[in-house]
Amino acid sequence: MKIEPIVIIAGEPNSIFLEIFFKSLKSNKYKRPLILIVSKKLLISQMDSLGYQYKINTINIKKKLDKNLDNKKINILDVDYNFTYPFEKISNKSNFYISKCFKIGIDFIGKNKCSGLINGPVSKKKFLNGKYLGITEYIASKTKKKKISMLIYNEKLSVSPITTHLPLKDVHKNISQIKIVDQVKLIVDFYKKKLKKNPRIAITGLNPHCESNYKTSEEEKIIKPAIKKLNNKNFNVKGPFAADTIFMKEQAKKYDVIIGMYHDQVLTPAKTLFGFDAINITLGLPFIRISPDHGPNISMLGKNLSSPISLIKALKFLDK
């Protein structure tokens, strides 16, 4: 048995995450032990309401990790949570609980050798409250890392935005040569170390057809010079490509990763191609962090109809 566990932060208590977690256990066996950071009361309540039956093993965080840890029971680090069960509307009430879960998870993975960290979804509006652009930036702040990158990974084609959850009006002010170069380096390092592969990377322009009505454009000032620097250092990078054609079948199959300038420029086509068959990996942290590609989805709470495929992909990726 591999002792390096997969640490899972359950995230927003009023979400579909525990439902899909139960489903992922029911349909798959994992070699590595899973450790879920969650309220035991909440776990039992949602298990009962959704009709699942699993035994629970509560881990003592102050003791050395048990070498015989396995998945015959749900292994948990219990986080106190005193709200109404089984479900409430998403609100600021759960913020302290969520932040406590993240603190416990990040501290635990810093003190124990683990395969990686998976976190369930949170409400950006309620939990982050404008302080961070997303959970990617939140975790980077908590681990004191500044050079990070979002990679939406699918074994056929991955995508990575240079800017994440920014309004479109702010995108052009937040792209730079150094950001593009650093992001390519993070992606290449990850592919070589984790996947034993030198990735083929395409980079999009910012403007439609990589053109602008102005005398100078971001393509000419920023993107082309960044690509030239990368090529001079022997990185396998090409572009800039127009975003409306790079995802066409014959073009996209030439590449492992497409880097875009903003979030929806690359995530929209990726989700159109693969649906939830993808995982969100944060590069540049002290550990591999993965977020399943879905939100809290409050409209589906308690219906037991949500697909676990993205969480299963995340678990299998770290279970290798």
> What CATH code is carried by the domain that includes residue 153?
3.40.718.10
* Same domain, residue pair 35 and 169: no
Assign residue 129 a region: left if phi > 0, alpha if psi is -120 to 50, beta otherwise? left
Residue-wise burial string across 9-21, b where 16 or more C-beta atoms lie within 10 A, e elsewhere: bbbbbbbbbbbbb
11 plus 139 within the same structural domain: yes
CB atoms near residue 253 (< 10 Å): 10
Q: How many CA atoms lie within 13 A of 120 on its CB side?
A: 24
CB neighbour list of residue 100: distance below 8 Å, 6 or more residues apart = 79, 80
Q: Do 204 and 132 belong to one domain?
A: no
Number of domains within the chain: 2
Pair 237, 302 in one domain: no
What pLDDT is stored for residue 92 in this prediction? Answer: 85
Rounded CA-CA distance 309/253 in Å is: 23
The reply to whether 130 and 188 lie within a common domain is: no
Q: What is the pLDDT of residue 10?
A: 94
pTM: predicted TM-score of the whole model, two decimal places: 0.88
208 shares a domain with 298:
no
| pLDDT string in tens for the chain (320-residue length) | 567 999 999 999 989 999 999 999 998 899 999 999 999 999 999 999 899 999 999 998 777 787 778 899 999 999 988 766 666 778 888 899 999 999 999 999 999 999 999 999 998 888 988 888 888 899 999 999 999 999 999 999 999 999 998 999 999 999 999 999 999 999 999 999 999 999 999 999 999 999 877 778 999 999 999 999 999 999 999 999 999 999 998 999 999 999 999 999 999 999 999 887 888 999 999 999 998 877 777 778 778 888 898 899 999 999 98
Range of the domain at 261: 149-278
Are residues 13 and 109 located together in one domain of the fold?
yes
Phi and psi, residue 222, nearest 5°:
-120, -55
Same-domain pairing of 39 and 75: yes
